[in-house]
Every structure is written in C-alpha cells, then in structure tokens.
C-alpha cells in the first residue's frame, strides 16, 4: 500500500519552516533527511512507519510506502508556497508551477486537469489544500487530532492515530444501502475518520477544515445544454490518448533482479512463482471493448511499447497482453477468440493465464488487510493469478462501463428533458431480451414515476422499506434489473439478511439525511445514480488493488482519470442510452487513433458468467464459509444472525435464486473484520503504547435507534 499523510495544527511547531528537500528546491524528491516533528500526547515524536518526509513543520507531509522516485514530485515557488504531486501525472514541472500559482489564488480545478491518476497537495502559508479525484479511486480522509486536523489518502493510518473504534452505523449502511450516498454520507468504517466526497478538496487553514467542490454538477432546475455527439466522442478519444501517453512517457521501472535460475522453470515461471511482474508495460486483454481499446492504444502510440523490432526506434519492446481463461466455464469462448485475434497484432505479446477451481471466488479466504472492506476481497486470489503474469505497469479496463454506459435511471432524465423519442431503442432492446409485450409500459411507467419523484421522497421511501423489511425477490434478467434501478435509492443485496436493529439504524440515518435542511443532490436522478455507482466501483477497485497487490507492480485504470471522467460526462444522454453505445464509442475512439482492424463481433455484449462463477465458488467453499460464520464478528456487532447467513450460504450453493452479490458483501466484510482485529502492528512510531485502531475489538455501543439519536 502507498499513501500520503500529514496534518495541519493550530499553532506553528518548534521547527518553524523546516522542509525536507535535501538541498533541492523543486522536481523529484531525493530523500532529504530534514525532519519536521510534531509531538504526541506525552511529548514523544510522531512519524509514520516507512515514510519519507516531503516537507516539515508546522504542517508536515509524508509519503508512505513503496513509491517510485518519479511518482513523488515537489515543486516550490518560495519558502511558504509549494505543491506535491504523488502518482502518475503527465504535467511538467512548469505546468505544476502554473497550477500552484492558480491554486494560490483559489482556483482548484487546475490541479485536477492534468493527465494521469495522482493526488495533489498545495501549501500556501498556513493553508493546505488536498484534492481528491472525481471517481473516488484516490480518496482523501481527515480527522480531528491534537487541536488541528490530520489527513491522509488512507483511512487506517488516521484510525491508528486516534485509536478509532469501529463505526457500526457505517458497516450497517455498507450492507443495507451501499449505493446510496445519503446512507454512507462521509463516514468510514472507523469512528471519527471522515471521507472527502469525490469531486471535492479538503482545505485546511491553521487546523480548521473546509470541504470545497471543484467540479460543477448538472442542475435539476435547468436542462444541460445540447452537446454535439461527434465532438463529445472526440473529447473522450483525446482524454484517453493523453491518459495512456502519460503512463508511457513515465520512466520504465524494472522490478527486483531475478535472484537466479530454478531447475525446471523458465524466467517467466520464476517471476510468477516469486511474485514478480515482467519488466515493461502490459495490459489486460479479456476480449471486451474496454481492455482491448487500452491495449491497442498503448501498443499503437509512438514510442515504447509497441515498437516492432527493426522499425522506428528499433527498441523492439512489445506490449504484454494478458488474457485470463476460466477453465470452469465455457461461456466466454467467443471473447477469448476475439482476444486471440487482437493479439495477432505484431506489437503485442500474448499470454494466456488459465485458472481452474483454485481460482474461483472464495477459493482462498486468506489475504492482506486492506484499508477498507470491499466485495472484491472474495475474488482477490482470482485476480492475483492473472496479475502475477502481468507487467510492472499494467493497464486495466476497470471503470469503462460506469463512465460510458447509461444507468437505467437516465431514462427518467430523458423524460424530464422531454426527449421521449430517444427511449424507443433502449426500451425495444429490453423488450427483445425479455420477450414480453408489457415491457414498454412497465419501463416507461417506472421512468415516469422516477422523473416525478423528489429526491427527499425517494430517500424516505427507502428508509420505510428498510424499517419494514420490504425486499423484493432478486430481479431476474435485464428488465428486472432496470426496473429495480429506476429509483432514487434502493436497498443493497445483503439488506435482507441484516437484523431488524441494524436496518432500523440505517433507516434513521436516511431519515435524518432526508430531513436535513438544504440537503439534496441538486442533480437529475440518472446522473445522481450514475455518479454513486461510479464511486462504489472505484472504491472497490482501490480495495482490489490492495488485496491482489503484486510487489513492484502498478495497476493503471485510465477510465477513472479525472480528464477521462470529465470527457465521458460530456457525452449526451441520448447517445449513452442507445444499445451498444459503449462499443460504438470505443470503436470511434480507436478509429480516430488510426486503429480500424478489429475482429468480427468486437464489442458484442458478453453473456454474464459472474453469477455462474460465484455460485461454483460458493458450492466448493461451502464448508469453510459455514465455519467462518460459526461465531462471526458481524453477529457480535449485532448486524446479522449467524444461523440466517449459514442458511443462505447453503441455499445459494444448492442453486436457489438468492442475490449472490449480497453474500459476497457479507463474507468480505466478515473477512475484513477478522483481518483488522488480528493485526498487531500500527502505522505510526512514537505513539503511546503503539496506539492502533479498534484497540478494544468489537465493543458494544449504544445504537442510534435505542438512544434516539
């Protein structure tokens, strides 16, 4: 894991303006050892474990973890004005300096408009500004501490710092309504640690904090201006090309040197067995349009990789394309054939990774502790098997569906804008998939109800459903899922297995949110639901990256970059809702980049294999899962009853139509709690008795329901 952490205190520290540049004023940090020290409760010096100081008192900042030298840059205008950028950023030092001057005047959007995925921190005197991203893949957290405010890009270090207990209300909301921002609000699994919403920045002035948005949000009162589809798709192409080029232009990273041969193993097998990625750049190649687009763009842009030996620079580096072949199902044969056809490109080196029962979900329940829980914990071993064959820098297509596709609730947005005729094709596609002549009336009626339902009424309706345990059967097919999504807020798939007290507590949270003065998304329902879905997906990708981490490897998800998200949000809704829109947009993107030779059927929707794979994994791992829920921590916390979950696991493994996503949420949260409570270390040195999060374990607390709060 890698994060940055710092704080802003109410008064200047003893070391004044000491900074850790090691003699350099700007550019890449070179590991200077000047130390900015804040003191703890008993006068001891505090600093994070395994950290490098970027600047010191009175408001110090550290980079923690295995950051590469080119991933940490600090540019200084004067002794009190500087900017630190951590991650992959395509801006030059001069552009960073210009952004620093703009931020000094209060303009924050400039700090988020460079290609790449990064976190920017600006210090101007005693004012510190930390910018989160639009998707939520690089969040920012904060907590009151020592009379000021501590902040970090990970929640666990702050929880260790203040010895935070678990926030059971957040854990209940994470299971009951994971896609509803009103339920989760700005909370985290750690009591007292707060999250900065996506699209916002944390501003600290001598310890006082402020949350400020830097990106405009579509208004409910005024329709968005009409957008030209061609220019919008061109914007997506330019943003994607810039995002890929930012990664290609970064210095190449070579993993640790191979310690030597192993009898019977080749170099690639040795690297995989030792958990070492292949040097260079690679990409997923699943056969789908998102990963295929990134692989072809990365291989086709000038320079390395993708330079065929004997042409151009003569470097001869080919992009490593990795395809995962699940041997337990034969439903993806067409995608695998398309991946093989794409890999015939001489700029690509194709590697197929096979996985049988050992790579199914739930096959390996051991793993590292992540910053937060996430459903990807149950599939981390499956992804790790694929990523172990990847490169030191590995492109993934995560996020493409969330930023390009139309959430079903966008049909209500079209009705609000009086664009009824654009509903014809998506409704016709649903009718064809379902085969019922009643589909158009049902979909149109649900979209019309949502368009006429205020946000507050939608949230109150969900609160009432949770309070009275009103859950519908698992919606089957595309029509059922679309109808279930045509609401402001819906219960999570795991809500049906929570205790009445836990559901009542989430209901109270929702009612308080709905009645809070001035609260509301200020958005159209479709745009609101799409942003919430993107935030949840980005958060789960962040957890997956930590759970399936390969040493010295970096996962790159360009579709979640700020500029790519902005470009995709500029796409007109009338284009998004058309069947096959994502594949058509990406095909146009590739055509604009000079790539036209695509295999037949490229971009065709894949038949869902996720449910089949999850059910197979549940069936094979039934006994370990039942053992896991013999005495679960979730039951000790009052969120579930163990016998109810054990019964659900047996039923799902036997083939009953239960929401498998809900079981994944429950199991992953139980796994995360066990890993958190079994840890012995802490993120800080110099703390009294090496303070850490959740020191008392699962401690009973007064509930909001019982206390009337």
pLDDT at 432: 86
Q: Find the range with the poorest average confidence among 226-235, 255-264, 280-289, 495-504.
A: 255-264
pLDDT above 90 for 436 = no
pLDDT above 80 for 583 = yes
More confident residue, 10 or 580: 580
pLDDT at 252: 78
pLDDT above 90 for 33 = no
Q: How far is CA 24 from CA 75, 90, 243, 628, in A?
A: 10, 21, 29, 53
* Token reading at 119: 């976190």
pLDDT above 80 for 387 = yes
More confident residue, 270 or 244: 244
Q: What is the DSSP letter of 630?
A: S
> What are the pLDDT digits (tens) for 652-700?
999 998 999 999 999 999 999 999 999 988 899 876 556 788 888 887 5
pLDDT at 256: 63
Which residue stretches of 570-609 are H helix? 573-576, 581-592
> What are the pLDDT digits (tens) for 454-493?
999 999 999 999 999 988 776 677 888 889 999 999 999 9
More confident residue, 314 or 146: 146
pLDDT at 267: 63
More confident residue, 14 or 137: 137
More confident residue, 33 or 440: 440
pLDDT above 60 for 392 = yes
pLDDT above 80 for 25 = no
> What are the pLDDT digits (tens) for 203-213?
999 889 999 99
> What are the pLDDT digits (tens) for 592-605?
888 888 888 888 77
Question: 3-state secondary structure string, 98-158?
Answer: HHHHHHHCCCCHHHHCCCEEEEEEEEECCEEEEECCCCCCCCCEEEEECCEEEEECCHHHH
Please give the average per-residue pLDDT across 24-33, as a whole number: 38
Q: Kindly give, in sequence order, each residue whose CB lies less than 8 Å from that of residue 185, ignoring residues fewer than 6 positions away.
A: 509, 513
pLDDT at 458: 93
Q: Find the range with the poorest average confidence among 156-170, 353-367, 535-549, 590-604.
A: 590-604
pLDDT at 542: 96
Nearest in space to 540 (alpha carbons), one of 658, 664, 364, 692: 664
pLDDT at 222: 58
> What are the pLDDT digits (tens) for 63-106?
999 999 999 999 998 888 999 999 999 999 999 999 999 998 88
pLDDT above 50 for 22 = no
Instruction: Tell me if 195 sits within 8 A of 187, measured CB to CB.
Output: yes
> Sign (positive/negative) of CA torsion 25, 26, 30, 32?
positive
pLDDT at 585: 95
Domain range list for the chain: 3-10+36-213, 404-534, 612-678
pLDDT above 80 for 345 = yes
> Sign (positive/negative) of CA torsion 317, 319, 323, 324?
positive
pLDDT above 50 for 590 = yes
Strand order in the sheet with 554-556: 348-355, 319-326, 278-284, 391-395, 554-556
Nearest in space to 126 (alpha carbons), one of 52, 63, 194, 209: 209
pLDDT-above-90 percentage for the chain: 61
**Averaged pLDDT score across all residues of the chain:** 86
> What are the pLDDT digits (tens) for 101-146?
999 888 899 999 999 999 999 999 999 999 999 999 999 999 999 8
Cβ-based neighbour number of residue 571 at 10 Å:
20
pLDDT above 80 for 521 = no
pLDDT at 122: 96
> What are the pLDDT digits (tens) for 620-639?
999 999 999 999 999 999 99
C-alpha–C-alpha distance, residues 298 and 302, integer Å: 9
Query: Model confidence at 309, in pLDDT bands (50, 70, 90)?
Result: very low
């Amino acid at each position: 894991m890698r994060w940055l952490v710092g704080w802003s205190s109410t008064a200047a520290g003893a070391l004044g303006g000491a900074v850790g540049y090691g003699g350099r004023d700007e550019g890449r940090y070179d590991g200077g050892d000047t130390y900015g020290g804040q003191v703890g409760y008993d006068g001891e010096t505090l600093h994070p474990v395994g950290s490098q100081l970027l600047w010191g008192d009175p408001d110090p900042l550290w980079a923690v973890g295995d950051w590469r030298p080119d991933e940490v840059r600090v540019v200084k205008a004067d002794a009190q004005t500087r900017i630190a950028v951590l991650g992959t950023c395509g801006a030059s030092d001069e552009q960073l300096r210009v952004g620093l001057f703009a931020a000094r005047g209060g303009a924050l959007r400039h700090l988020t408009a460079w290609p790449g995925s990064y976190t920017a921190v600006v210090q101007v005197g005693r004012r510190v500004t930390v910018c989160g991203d639009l998707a939520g893949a690089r969040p920012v957290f904060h907590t009151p501490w020592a009379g000021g405010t501590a902040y970090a890009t990970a929640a666990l270090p702050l929880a260790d710092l203040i010895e935070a207990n678990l926030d059971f209300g957040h854990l209940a909301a994470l299971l009951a309504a994971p896609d509803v921002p009103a339920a989760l609000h700005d909370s985290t699994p750690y009591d007292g640690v707060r999250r900065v919403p996506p699209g916002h920045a944390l501003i600290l002035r001598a310890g006082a904090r402020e949350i400020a948005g830097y990106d405009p949000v579509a208004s409910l009162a005024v329709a968005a201006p009409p957008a030209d589809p061609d220019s919008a798709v061109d914007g997506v192409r330019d943003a994607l090309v810039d995002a890929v080029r930012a990664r290609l232009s970064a210095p190449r990273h070579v993993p640790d040197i191979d310690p030597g041969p192993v009898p019977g193993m080749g170099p690639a097998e040795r690297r995989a067995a030792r958990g070492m990625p292949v040097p260079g750049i690679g990409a997923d190649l699943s056969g789908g349009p998102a990963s295929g687009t990134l692989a072809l763009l990365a291989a086709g842009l000038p320079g390395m990789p993708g330079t065929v030996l004997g042409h151009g620079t003569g470097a001869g580096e080919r992009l490593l394309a990795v395809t995962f072949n699940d041997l337990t199902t034969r439903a993806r044969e067409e995608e695998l054939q398309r991946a093989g056809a794409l890999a015939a490109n001489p700029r690509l080196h194709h590697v197929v990774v096979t996985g049988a029962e050992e790579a199914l979900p739930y096959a390996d329940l051991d793993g590292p502790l992540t910053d937060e829980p996430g459903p990807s914990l149950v599939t981390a071993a499956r992804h790790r098997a694929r990523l172990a064959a990847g490169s030191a820098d590995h492109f993934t297509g995560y996020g493409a569906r969330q930023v390009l596709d139309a959430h079903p609730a966008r049909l209500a947005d079209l009705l609000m804008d009086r664009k009824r005729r654009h509903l014809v094709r998506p409704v016709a596609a649903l009718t064809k998939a379902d085969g019922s002549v009643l589909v158009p009336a049902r979909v149109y009626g649900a979209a019309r109800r949502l368009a006429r339902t205020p946000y507050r009424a939608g949230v109150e309706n969900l609160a009432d459903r949770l309070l009275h345990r009103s859950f519908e059967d698992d919606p089957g097919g595309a029509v059922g899922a679309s109808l279930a999504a045509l609401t402001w807020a819906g219960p999570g798939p795991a809500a049906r297995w929570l205790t009445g007290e836990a559901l009542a507590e989430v209901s109270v949270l929702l009612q308080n949110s709905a009645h809070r003065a001035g609260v509301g998304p200020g958005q159209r329902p479709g745009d609101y639901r799409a942003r919430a879905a993107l935030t949840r997906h980005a958060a789960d990708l962040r957890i997956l990256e930590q759970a399936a981490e390969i040493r010295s490897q970096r996962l790159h998800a360009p579709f979640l970059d700020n500029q790519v998200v902005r470009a995709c949000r500029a796409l007109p809704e009338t284009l998004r809702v058309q069947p096959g829109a994502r594949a058509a947009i990406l095909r146009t993107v590739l055509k604009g980049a000079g790539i036209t030779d695509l295999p037949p059927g490229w971009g065709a929707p894949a038949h869902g294999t996720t449910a089949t794979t999850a059910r197979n994994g549940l069936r094979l791992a039934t006994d370990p899962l039942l053992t896991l829920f013999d005495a679960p921590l979730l039951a000790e916390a009052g969120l579930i009853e163990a016998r109810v979950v054990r019964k659900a696991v047996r039923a799902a493994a036997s083939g009953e139509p239960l929401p498998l996503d809900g079981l994944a949420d429950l199991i992953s949260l139980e796994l995360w709690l066990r890993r958190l409570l079994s840890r012995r270390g802490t993120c800080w040195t110099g703390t009294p008795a090496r303070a850490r999060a959740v020191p008392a374990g699962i401690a009973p607390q007064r509930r909001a329901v019982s206390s009337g709060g």
